[in-house]
Structure 1
């Protein structure tokens, strides 16, 4: 596959999906209440949902560089927490600053990570919690959960209700072979051989979680739910020292 074609597919790449439990072939996934994923954030730009994010401390929301790079001033962003409904309910916070990894590669999507700094601090309760960040990678075959308000089917509008889906970590070398060398150590892969469990448009920046610990950030992929290509996620473990240096977490 040519690098030009790879880039085209990257730009068309989706990254989300939806559901806890449910059958593997239910593309739309399963609705989930925010109490199940209280770290989930909706990143809104000009009063519309743009990306997902996760609360990692009272002052910082983690997302992807893709969601931030080249964007307008922080004041145009709102971080909505504590709600299962898109652009409604919960509490909202404005961003005082935003930044991304200085070595983010827009072509390859390597080091796809960024942060919003909150004006003030996020108030925690049963539906609003920070999520711990991983320090060791998961083994292939481990079950993980991804969540967001992204499309339930390729090309569909975003749902009002938050969704989540359980899927499985895939060996990096196998994933790299599928993607013909595009997977770096800063990426992890998750999906099912038959497809149907993935993230999609609008989910970028959201969390990939196991045992209430975040291991990945929804980043990119070839299409949504499209076998044999799994979803690709930013590898938090490989970027852990950078995260700690930037935000002290």
Structure 2
């Protein structure tokens, strides 16, 4: 969600590990809020890879378990892994990435939304239909996430393991924050034509926003996941809410 170095760091590390030509990969954590427990979000996955050794547990994105063997995440998180899905993992039940609790499951396939494409806004990569489904190597015995749309909700919750500010390089603790849903007009003012209300949801403020390494994580409203962290200009910058992938059409 910002042009800080971790985005280019993710590309560089994965590029060296996979020896593939890569494009910039946005990897958006929760600014504001407080530490949270995965017991509240048993379906929440830390998506990562052992090759991403700069982060504990290899985590670089979030995701939501939607079937016992299916995790919904942001497409931009996993496009590089379509031909090597076995390098991806999904970890559940780990409040702090430096710990060893919970369970980690390998990924056996990656399905990207057929209409996924990228444009740009300033230095940010804009993902359209920014959705992907990971098929796990085995089912997990966990409650799955309920999906929906924001409807009339004016506030929601965001959760992730990422940065708590643009300059926070070290947070590894799951955090959650209550974030406003200001409506499409707020993102249209901020991003112009880069914001497409047909496949994006506008959420967040200078006090509560997603940030680096939160991409693919949930926006929750009315007890349902209604969007996934996708992109935005910086983290918590006044006048620039976060943008979330709408879940109206899944891959």
Residue aligning to 2:46: 42
1:68 aligns with 2:81: no
Give the direction of change, closer, same or farther, for the CA distance of 1:85–1:164 in structure 2 (3 Å limit): same
Deviates more, 1:173-182 or 1:107-116: 173-182
CA distance in structure 2 between the aligned counterparts of 1:206 and 1:110, rounded to whole angstroms: 16
SS in 2 for 1:205: coil
8 Å CA contact 1:14, 1:224 repeated in 2: no
8 Å CA contact 1:16, 1:199 repeated in 2: yes
Residue aligning to 1:200: 211
**Which residue of the other structure, out of 50, 55, 75, is the alignment partner of 2:65?**
55
Alpha-carbon shift at residue 102 of structure 1 (Å): 1.7
Residue aligning to 2:204: 191
8 Å CA contact 1:149, 1:158 repeated in 2: no
The CA deviation string for residues 162-212 of structure 1, in whole angstroms up to 9 with x for no partner, is 1011011121133212212211110011123xx121000000000111232
Alpha-carbon shift at residue 112 of structure 1 (Å): 0.3
Residue aligning to 2:146: 132
8 Å CA contact 2:150, 2:222 repeated in 1: no
Residue aligning to 2:137: 119
8 Å CA contact 1:152, 1:158 repeated in 2: no
**Which residue of the other structure, out of 29, 46, 59, is the alignment partner of 1:16?**
29
| Higher share of residues assigned strand | 2
Residue aligning to 1:22: none
The CA deviation string for residues 107-161 of structure 1, in whole angstroms up to 9 with x for no partner, is 231100001101120112xxxx211111x4422x621001010011113224222
The CA deviation string for residues 7-41 of structure 1, in whole angstroms up to 9 with x for no partner, is xxxx69674315xxxxxxxx4x3000111122211
Aligned-CA RMSD value: 1.9
Normalised by the size of structure 2, how large is the TM-score? Answer: 0.79
The CA deviation string for residues 32-84 of structure 1, in whole angstroms up to 9 with x for no partner, is 01111222110121251111111111010010000011236111111100221
Deviates more, 1:45-54 or 1:218-227: 45-54
CA distance in structure 1 between the aligned counterparts of 2:67 and 2:25, rounded to whole angstroms: 32
Structure 1 residues not aligned, in runs of 5+: 1-10, 19-26
CA distance in structure 1 between the aligned counterparts of 2:27 and 2:139, rounded to whole angstroms: 31
Between the two proteins, the alignment pairs up a number of residues equal to 213
Deviates more, 1:100-109 or 1:89-98: 100-109
Residue aligning to 1:171: 183
SS in 2 for 1:179: helix
SS in 1 for 2:79: coil
The CA deviation string for residues 205-244 of structure 1, in whole angstroms up to 9 with x for no partner, is 001112321100000000001111000000113x2xxx2x
Residue aligning to 1:99: 111
Structure 2 residues not aligned, in runs of 5+: 1-23, 51-56, 120-125
